[in-house]
Amino acid sequence: MNVIVKPPFRREAMRIAGKLVQTDDIVEVFHPYDNSVVGTVPAARPEHVRDAFAKARAFKPKLTRYERQQILQRTAEILRDRKEEFARLIVAETGLCWKDGLYEASRAYDVWSFAAQLTIRDDGEIYACDISPMGKARKIFTTRTPLLGVISAITPFNHPLNMVSHKLAPAIATNNRVVLKPTELTPLTALALADVLYEAGLPPEMLSVVTGNPSTMGDAMITDPDADLVTFTGSVRVGKHIANTAGYKRVVLELGGNDPLIVMEDADLDKAAELAVAGATRNSGQRCTAVKRILVVNAVADEFSKLVAEIAKTLKSGDPLDPSTDVGTVINERSAILFENRVNAAVELGAEVLHGAPRQGALFAPTVVDHVPYDCELVREETFGPVIPIIRCPGDIAEVIRISNSTAYGLSSGVCTDRLDYINRFVTELEVGTVNVWEAPGYRIEMSPFGGIKDSGLGDKEGVVEAMKSFTHVRTWSMPWT
Ligand code: NAD
């Protein structure tokens, strides 16, 4: 296959209740590999955000379950049919490689299709009341209702289609209205997705997309009087700002991760090394659940790190639009410089680089670093790029668990062992939202509950099933029943 052609330059407008809205000021969107401008979006002011929420609030969604199912499934099918078009847009604005772009477009199909299948299911419950001496001949029924107000959705750059889909699909499945603010770094995919939804039959008042600089209009997304719930995926810093600013509103926070892959002495080391490299480098290492630390016990560390370096050397880092590239760029040069500095600082503390390449702009090749001190910045903070840091641990599971739990994060984890006693302890004692045995921390299906604790989130889960719950109120009603 030849090099993929970048999509034509897009001068985008916002979508406010389906209307195209421009502003005088714009934000440029860059292709990180060559810094070319691939498009522009309007720089909204707070009054644009207010207008979007007011229009959404004024509209009362009345879609039946059947109608919602049809819109969601049509959206899934359009995305499947235009997978390559979306992948091109993702690659253009993120610098992720073509393989990652295609993978993301396929995942998004699942999100929309699962939401379509779940929207026709009624999860109401019935409680009989004649179950105690004080009981009565009545029944209490539960039903889930959409929010009275509007959902404010704020999304990150690393999955410009999938993260947005995880907010919008459950919202539509539950008959909610949404104002979405995609990141200013990768807003083009979100705008293209909004058009697909309108095409699939979504009443335009149910979805607005506003764009711009968060310093100007970010707080308007958090404090709007018509926003009942703020659902945010992004960094801990911004997540905590939202928690402090939102006031009397529901907030769903899906924040950063610092996920370990743990390799015990009984592990099949070839299999573990494959998981380590893929988990740390897919999506240029820019997944909240990427492998960000590898904890390997001393007894097998020499052999394991050799295998990791061998596999990492087979990965091709380079032009994201070349279909044979395995790892594209990170989001921008500033981030790449940060990772470079953190690797250098770890080396000063005794770590050893087993494989890597000089940084070129935003291109930061997979970098294997062995003997990383478990508490240095490279692994204590979230390093959101394709670094593969190996931390050698004593062969004592309590110590492995202590090191794993030593960061502020608690999103997910992967564990390479067949020993049930170890598995039992990891599942019980790791301070995380997910433990995947013999899988990378990022493994999930788009429907299963997903989300972290500690600084990684407040414990609310995403995934279509849980998001549909968090975007609704449970109403109970009762009546006489013999
Ligand atoms: P970010 O926090 O910088 O930005 C996320 C969003 O917040 C963007 O839309 C941005 O414009 C907006 N924002 C920034 N300041 C704001 C403000 N003051 N008010 C309102 N909105 C504001 O995050 P990012 O760099 O785009 O994304 C990477 C981060 O996201 C990583 O930490 C990653 O782990 C995390 N992430 C978490 C999950 C998860 O499910 N837990 C999934 C994907 C990414």
Which among 93, 104, 184, 254 is annotated as catalytic? 254
Predicted pLDDT at 1: 59
CA–centroid distance, 254 to ligand 1, in Å, is 9
Indicate the burial class of 442 (C-beta count within 10 angstroms; 0-12, 13-18, 19 or more).
buried
Nearest-angstrom CA–CA distance, 45 and 214: 10
Q: Which of 173, 147, 146, 149 is nearest to 57 (CA)?
A: 149
pLDDT above 90 (res 221): yes
- Closest atom of ligand 1 relative to the 181 alpha carbon: 9
Angle at alpha carbon of residue 189, lines to 184 and 191, rounded to 5°: 80
Can you tell me the mean pLDDT for 154-173?
98
pLDDT above 70 (res 53): yes
Residue in 159, 213, 231, 233 to alter for ligand 1 test, most ligand atoms within 8 A of Cβ: 233
Nearest-angstrom CA–CA distance, 157 and 93: 9
Model confidence over 430-443: pLDDT tens digits?
Answer: 999 999 999 999 99
Can you tell me the mean pLDDT for 91-117?
97
Q: Quick check: ipTM above 0.95?
A: yes
**161, 193 in Cβ contact below 8 A?**
yes
Q: How confident is the model at residue 3 (pLDDT cuts 50, 70, 90)?
A: confident
Nearest-angstrom CA–CA distance, 184 and 194: 16
Q: How confident is the model at residue 482 (pLDDT cuts 50, 70, 90)?
A: confident
Q: What beta strand segments (E) does 123-276 contain?
A: 126-128, 138-146, 150-154, 178-181, 207-209, 227-233, 250-254, 259-263
Report the chain's mean pLDDT, rounded to a whole number: 97
This prediction has a pTM of: 0.98
Three-class DSSP category at 16? strand
Of the listed ranges 1-10, 120-129, 215-224, the least confidently predicted one is 1-10
Is the CB of 218 within 6 Å of ligand 1?
Answer: yes
Q: Which of 19, 24, 10 is nearest to 212 (CA)?
A: 24
Predicted pLDDT at 58: 98
Active site residue 340: no
**% residues pLDDT > 70 (the chain):** 100
Predicted pLDDT at 460: 85
CA–centroid distance, 239 to ligand 1, in Å, is 7
Active site residue 254: yes
Residue 1 CB partners (closer than 8 Å, separation 6+): 323
For 352, phi then psi, to 5°, come to -130, 125
For 451, phi then psi, to 5°, come to 160, 165
Model confidence over 231-286: pLDDT tens digits?
Answer: 999 999 999 999 999 999 999 999 999 999 999 999 999 999 999 999 999 999 99
**411, 292 in Cβ contact below 8 A?**
no
If one counts every other C-beta atom within 10 angstroms of the C-beta of residue 298, the result is 12
Model confidence over 297-336: pLDDT tens digits?
Answer: 999 999 999 999 999 999 999 999 999 999 999 999 999 9
Q: How confident is the model at residue 404 (pLDDT cuts 50, 70, 90)?
A: very high
Can you tell me the mean pLDDT for 79-105?
97
Q: Which of 220, 205, 233 is nearest to 456 (CA)?
A: 233
Query: For the chain, first and last CA: distance in Å?
Result: 70
CA–centroid distance, 354 to ligand 1, in Å, is 31
Residue in 154, 210, 287, 413 to alter for ligand 1 test, most ligand atoms within 8 A of Cβ: 154
Amino acid at 8: P
Model confidence over 165-193: pLDDT tens digits?
Answer: 999 999 999 999 999 999 999 999 999 99
Q: How confident is the model at residue 2 (pLDDT cuts 50, 70, 90)?
A: confident
Predicted pLDDT at 459: 83
Q: How confident is the model at residue 413 (pLDDT cuts 50, 70, 90)?
A: very high
Can you tell me the mean pLDDT for 45-60?
98
pLDDT above 70 (res 113): yes
Amino acid at 19: K
Q: Which of 269, 249, 253, 251 is nearest to 261 (CA)?
A: 269
Nearest-angstrom CA–CA distance, 297 and 275: 16
Is the CB of 181 within 6 Å of ligand 1?
Answer: yes
CA–centroid distance, 65 to ligand 1, in Å, is 32
Nearest-angstrom CA–CA distance, 208 and 166: 16
**266, 395 in Cβ contact below 8 A?**
no
CA–centroid distance, 155 to ligand 1, in Å, is 6
